[in-house]
Amino acid sequence: MIDETAAEIADMQTHSSSEVAVKAARALRSVTEREFPTVDEYHRALDRNSSALQRANPSHASLHNTQCEIVETVATSNVETVTAAKNLTLDTIDAIIERIEESKQAAADRVASMIESTQTLLTHDYSTTVLSGIEAAVEDGTELTVYVTESRPRYLGRKTARRLGEYDGVDTRLIVDSAAGSYLDDVDHVFIGMTCIVDKTLYNRVGTYPIAATAADVAVPVTSVGSAAKIIEGGFRFENEQRVTSEVMREPPEGFKIENPAYDATPVGLLENVVTDEGVIMPESLGE
């Protein structure tokens, strides 16, 4: 279970960072199904398996934070039996998953309240929280036009477009990433997710930065949406990832190199605001 989940995370089969954190937390339950002679042995196994899950994608702050919370809660609990340690692990995992789901819903509800009927929106990549916010607005009777970038080279935006295309109240229009600037003049608001915010920098799926910069140039507000737990004040260093070159081009490159970063860095000054489960945050209040 641990190895399979780590491989799935590394391969980005799960696209939303909050979904990654939930999936990893659930995978860690498998450690409680094994037998251990002592509490110390159990702690070591829990830490070892948690580290494997974190290494699968070092860029995911929510994955890092939730896994550390599980391990540290058990390690500092002073439980005396393996059974008690296992029960505490399961309780902690359940509490974390519930908190993540509640945080996503609270942030999505705030997004929905910001969206007005007949607006034209643009979103990039695949954010379950942004999707939930748009879906909640539509279920309340709002009618929207939504431009969705393909989010190459993984084409995660197509997944977003398919979801939005299921709603009669959404006129969904899929565009290539490089066409975003051609449509931003017609857009009222850009909503994007977040992998994390560290030191006044939003790290999100590659392609976010040029959209935010172009939107700022044409005075279209950009809102980043996610759990407040993704805003990191210390103890976490973002590590970008170079994806396999076959995602960009199947045949081997001859005479040139292919670079395929998974994320890019957007200065929070390009954002209108950041919406989390805890409220709306102004960019100037983020970081030092």
Class of domain 109-285: alpha beta
What's the confidence (pLDDT) of residue 20? 87
Can you give the pTM of this predicted structure?
Answer: 0.84
Domain boundaries, the chain: 2-104, 109-285
What's the confidence (pLDDT) of residue 61? 79
What's the confidence (pLDDT) of residue 177? 96
- Per residue in 207-218, pLDDT tens? 999 999 999 999
What's the confidence (pLDDT) of residue 228? 87
Convert the chain into a string of H (helix), E (strand) and C (coil): CHHHHHHHHHCCCCCCHHHHHHHHHHHHHHHHHCCCCCHHHHHHHHHHHHHHHHHCCCCCHHHHHHHHHHHHHHHCCCCCCHHHHHHHHHHHHHHHHHHHHHHHHHHHHHHHHHCCCCCEEEECCCCHHHHHHHHHHHHCCCCEEEEEECCCCCCHHHHHHHHHCCCCCEEEEEECHHHHHHHHHHCCEEEECCCEEECCEEEEECCHHHHHHHHHHCCCCEEEECCHHHEECCCCCCCCCECCHHHCCCCCCCCCCCCCECEEEEEHHHCCEEEECCEEECHHHCCC
The CATH classification of domain 2-104, taken from the options 1.20.120.420, 3.30.420.40, 3.90.580.10, 3.40.1190.20: 1.20.120.420
> From the CA atom positions of the chain, what is the Rg in Å?
20
Mean of per-residue pLDDT scores for the chain = 92
Q: CA-CA distance, 188 to 115, in Å (whole number)?
A: 10
What's the confidence (pLDDT) of residue 181? 96
- Per residue in 254-266, pLDDT tens? 999 999 999 999 9
What's the token pair of residue 255? 């005479």
Which residues, given as ranges, of the chain have pLDDT below 70?
A: 12-15, 234-235, 287-288
